[in-house]
Structure 1
Amino acid sequence: MFSPQGPSLRELTVQALSSVEHGYDLLAARFDATPFRTSDRLLDAVTRTLEPLGPFDSGLDVCCGTGAGLGVLRAVCAGRVAGVDFSTGMLAEARRAHPGADLVRADALALPFGPAFDLAVSFGAFGHFLPEEQHTLFARVHASLRPGGTFAFPLPAPARVGSRAYWTLWGFDTVMRVRNALRRPPFVMYYRTFRLADVRTRLETAGFDVTLLPVEPLGRRENGSPACRLVVARKG
């Protein structure tokens, strides 16, 4: 599951027993050698799906981590590329990988931007936000976009009920809930709290018009539905 360059089981345990911010600071130098980094296959597929929606000028990667999504912005944006994250360690890695990007340390629930961006993206971060925090997150992204700006992110199809992936995600969330009930500060990371119907409603409440696009390079499921959708939320 992990490369030799990745973290040890002990290091992952220490991270999981830390706060979210400190945990990612500890993991940052080895994060890209874990399966938690957004895959190049997904990044490439999202880039190909976004390209026809442009042109875009400036772009923002929300919760940019080590900067995997900044490469998508560079591919589809002609102007300024920026990333925001609250982990100093993750931003340091992003700065090494993308020296020309504007990187800002801030909480995504309090983004420090006015309406400055044409496109905002985010990859793999939404499990760190409780359902009741999602409206605040979407409202802050909305405020950071210019009129007509786009907030886009991939949302894989849910695991089939009863499948190995379904029980793996269910088990992970259960372990995290037990951990957070017993230890403080909490480490918020849940895989099953970001449901499309709820997310769409919260995006619309924040002022977005929402459409869904199939991420065709990732293929389709046995029933013909997309394996992954791109949520495209436009600011009016």
Structure 2
Amino acid sequence: MFSPQGPSLRELTVQALSSVERGYDLLAPKFDYTPFRTPDSILGATTQALSARGPFTDGLDVCCGSGAGMSVLRSLCQGRTIGVDFSAGMLAQAKSAHPDATWVRADVRAMPFAPRFDLAVSFGALGHFLPEELPALFEGVHRALRPGGLFAFPIGTMPPRTAVAHWVTLGFDLTMRVRNAVWRPPFVMYYRTNPLRDVLTDLTTAGFAAESVALTELGQHGDGSPRCQLILARKPLAAAPA
């Protein structure tokens, strides 16, 4: 399916009926041949938007998957680059593609890093977290950054109701909710559970100064709104006074 090198429909079905971790372990060898891999256009636009916001020394790819985001860190960071994910299969693919980076298996809801990074990025991961899980994720990234460090990740905006993509996205989320209501273990993957406003609020609560900028080179919806926003969350240089 998708391409001759991609997974078959049967393989995708088995993955969808597995847990998130087990599903990605199964999909890992063929993941880069699916549309689920972050497109190079998004990686390039993110790199360009961050290039004037450095310099950066050490970089962290949060929920790194098969390692596509490492190209962004290697372009921007002058020091050590580390990827973290809970799928052993995905980490094996990432290590094969980028053997000179460091790869760590961990649950990012309990981030295992001390404050050492200047830049943290994440691509396509928020849909795998329920809204109540995002505060722990953002707090962990905040702890892993040095004062003044930056957490950046692109987030797709919802198409207007007049667009076919709006209803396709809604249908996908409804299908996943039905699947998780009748089948265990759950597979958490939603497109509509993390609105931009709520994400910015959770980042601010975690201690970041957060904003969003439009990645205009990635196009617009029919109503003129950007298809993709880049979230920029900066850890303050010093703690705010009580």
What TM-score, normalized by structure 1, do the two folds share? 0.97
Task: Determine the C-alpha separation between the residues in 2 that align with 1:54 and 1:10.
Answer: 45
Distance 2:128 2:162 in 1: 25
Corresponding residue for residue 166 of structure 1:
166
The correspondence of residues 29-108 of structure 1 with structure 2, limited to 5 A, is 29-108=29-108
| Structure 1 gap ranges (5+) | none
Question: Number of residues paired by the alignment?
Answer: 236
RMSD: 1.1
Equivalent position SS for 1:67 = coil
Percent of aligned positions with the same letter in both sequences?
A: 63
Report how far residue 221 of structure 1 moved: 4.0
Q: Match of 1:61, as an amino acid?
A: D
Structure 1 CA distance, aligned partners of 2:7 and 2:156?
A: 26
Q: Hey, what does 2:118 align to over in structure 1?
A: 118
Q: 1:222 to 1:173 in 2, by over 3 A?
A: closer
Corresponding residue for residue 147 of structure 2: 147
Residue of structure 1 in register with 2:14 after alignment = 14
Q: Using the alignment, how far apart are the partners of 1:162 and 1:17 within structure 2?
A: 32
AA aligned opposite 2:42: L
- Name the SS for the 2:52 alignment partner: helix
Give the letter for the 1:51 counterpart: S
Matched, 1:137 2:105: no
For residues 31-78 of structure 1, what are the alpha-carbon distances to aligned partners after superposition, in whole Å with 9 as ceiling and x for unaligned? 000000000111111111110111111100000000000100000111
| 2:133 counterpart SS class | helix
Instruction: Give the Cα separation in 1 of the matches to 2:59 and 2:173.
Output: 32
Structure 2, unaligned runs of 5 or more = 237-242
Q: 1:28: which partner in 2?
A: 28
Aligned 8 A contact 2:160 2:221 in 1:
no
The alignment partner of 1:52 has SS state of coil
1:5 is paired with a residue whose SS is coil
